[in-house]
Structure 1
Amino acid sequence: MLVIFALLISNRGSEDVRVEGNPIIEALIPKADSEVLRQSAVGIDLISGYEAELTINGISIPPDQINVLRDEENPRESANTGGSFGSTLNRFLYQPLGGRAVPELLGGKNCVLAEFWPISDPSARKKIEWCFTAL
């Protein structure tokens, strides 16, 4: 009885973030409920064959400000050209900088909404939201 109760409590509040057991999402950057610096990169790591859009604290990030890393061995070429879809790396990262959509993360709680979909079916969009603290 106690074990069942503990399982119910441990799953509470996790409806929004389903990374464990989700074969599409490899990582949230930064991790949910973590503490990072206000200049830290924000994004999502997906399996290959997927695209993503990011919204940080309600601000939609323009696609040209999202660095898509698809080739770990040649990250500069990957970021500039979209890389190879055969790679296992598929990270969508936003780096806060002056003059960009989000120049720096808020001090305190920040939330990210990532929408992602298979390249072969853009209508099959899914969403995941997570929050973290910036110091």
Structure 2
Amino acid sequence: MCDDRPRHNVQNTSTSGENDEVTDSDTPLPADTEPAAGSAIEPLGTTGGGGPARRRRRPSIEMVLISAGLAMGLMMVILGLMSATTGREALGYPDQIISVSPAPNDRQVLSQTEISVDLVDGYEAELTLDGITIPTTRLEDAAPQDVKPGQQIELPKTAIYDQGNSLIRFEPTEGAVVEKYNVGVHRVMVTYWKIEEGRGTARSFSWSFEVL
């Protein structure tokens, strides 16, 4: 027999807050978005070593100028050393002369300054001042044989040649062939020769100085 009773549809009475909708939080990540096992993700703003990232500083104009100045100074020093000459070479002294006084081109000489020439061992010399040959006396000839240590010796008013020190000198004084220098430029010539070869092999060297 057929059941003639009315049928009732059963409806879902769930509220909107209790529906079966799946949220994004429950959706698994795709395989290609998951980090690989064992790999590390570096945070932004760090270097590969783990320290904070540093920005490269550009050299300032001051540092560039200082560096260029130092390089130029070093170059000038090197060039100066390469082209420098010694005092003897600049003054033109011959090998037989160690030094002279007053120095060549000296411009602050007093009127009775001593003239001296220091020679290498084994050389003798004589002086000529402004064309006047100064008489020369050997020191051993002027000193008495019985001179005592510390005793004052009165030397002749000539040029004195000290063979022991290879030195010849002359001091202008009253009674000498030249008593003093006049103001202006004066020229000295030293004639020198090797003692064992004699005066016939003599050479000369000249220089000037100025008296105030």
TM-score of the superposed pair, with normalisation by structure 1:
0.70
Asked if the contact 1:41/1:93 (under 8 Å) is kept, the reply is: yes
Question: Greater strand share, 1 or 2?
Answer: 1
Give the total of aligned pairs: 104
Unaligned runs of 5+ in 2: 1-78, 138-157
SS in 2 for 1:28: strand
Would you say 1:61 and 2:134 are equivalent positions?
yes
**1:66 offset after TM fit, Å?**
1.2
Selected match of 1:26 from 91, 98, 113: 98
**Percent identity over paired residues:** 27
Deviations 1:2-26 (A, max 9, x none): x8xxx8xx9xxx9xx621xx32100
Question: Greater helix share, 1 or 2?
Answer: 2
1:43-54 pair list within 5 angstroms: 43-54=116-127
Separation of aligned partners in 2, 1:18 and 1:126:
14
Counterpart residue number, 2:205: 128
In structure 2, give the amino acid aligned to 1:127.
S
SS in 2 for 1:104: coil
Selected match of 1:105 from 165, 178, 181: 181
Counterpart residue number, 2:115: 42
In structure 2, give the amino acid aligned to 1:18.
G
Deviations 1:96-122 (A, max 9, x none): 001111100121101001100000112
RMSD between superposed Cα atoms in Å: 2.0
1:72-87 pair list within 5 angstroms: 82=163, 84=164
**1:94 offset after TM fit, Å?**
0.3
Separation of aligned partners in 1, 2:131 and 2:95:
26
Counterpart residue number, 2:167: 91
Query: Of the two, which has the highest radius of gyration?
Result: 2
Counterpart residue number, 1:76: none
Asked if the contact 2:134/2:177 (under 8 Å) is kept, the reply is: yes
TM-score of the superposed pair, with normalisation by structure 2:
0.45
Separation of aligned partners in 2, 1:30 and 1:124:
26
In structure 2, give the amino acid aligned to 1:133.
E
**1:47 offset after TM fit, Å?**
0.8
Selected match of 1:116 from 181, 184, 192: 192
Unaligned runs of 5+ in 1: 70-81
